[in-house]
Amino acid sequence: MDYYTEFYQRGFEHLISLPEQGLIEFSADLFAGTPAEVGILVYATDQAHLKTQMMPRLEQALTEIDRLVLGLGNLQADLAQIYLYQQRLGLHFYSHEINNEFTAIFKYQQQWQFVGYGDVFEA
């Protein structure tokens, strides 16, 4: 899917201040109203941090989502949310078979590398 183009057609729709963490959550819903709907949540300290540090990383990640999901194997799950926090990318899935959610964590080291399943904020 073309997550990159869809994001640039929509842009960020919401922001939530998280003063306890010193962050702002920027979010958008891609492919809204379709079975492929995916939420994006990006965490930055301010607009400048978003623009200079997080947006280049987000742009690069959005072009690789399909490859990253494919690399995880046959998950029997739907991608529901994409998280970007510091140098970590979280792909959050809803399982087809049981009432289960899980997040695949990737770290950026010249490319996105899978590091395991867990919480993007604690990886």
Evaluate whether residue 123 is within a structural domain: no
Evaluate whether residue 81 is within a structural domain: yes
In the chain, the percentage of residues whose pLDDT exceeds 70 is 99
Phi, psi (degrees; rounded to nearest 5) at 32 = -55, 140
Evaluate whether residue 122 is within a structural domain: no
Strand partners, 103: 92
Query: Could you tell me the residue range of the domain that residue 62 belongs to?
Result: 3-117
Domain count along the chain: 1
Evaluate whether residue 98 is within a structural domain: yes
Q: What string of DSSP letters covers 39-91?
A: EEEEEESSHHHIIIIIHHHHHHHHTTHHHHHHHT----EEEEEEEEETTEEEE
CA distance to 16, 64, 67, 79, 114, per residue, from 70 (Å): 31, 10, 5, 11, 12
- In terms of Cβ atoms closer than 10 Å to its own Cβ (0-12, 13-18, 19+), residue 29 is middle
Evaluate whether residue 92 is within a structural domain: yes
pLDDT tens readout for residues 45-70: 999 999 999 999 999 999 999 999 99
Question: Which residue type does 122 have?
Answer: E
Report the C-alpha gap between 44 and 86 in whole angstroms: 8
Least confident of 17-21, 37-41, 81-85: 17-21
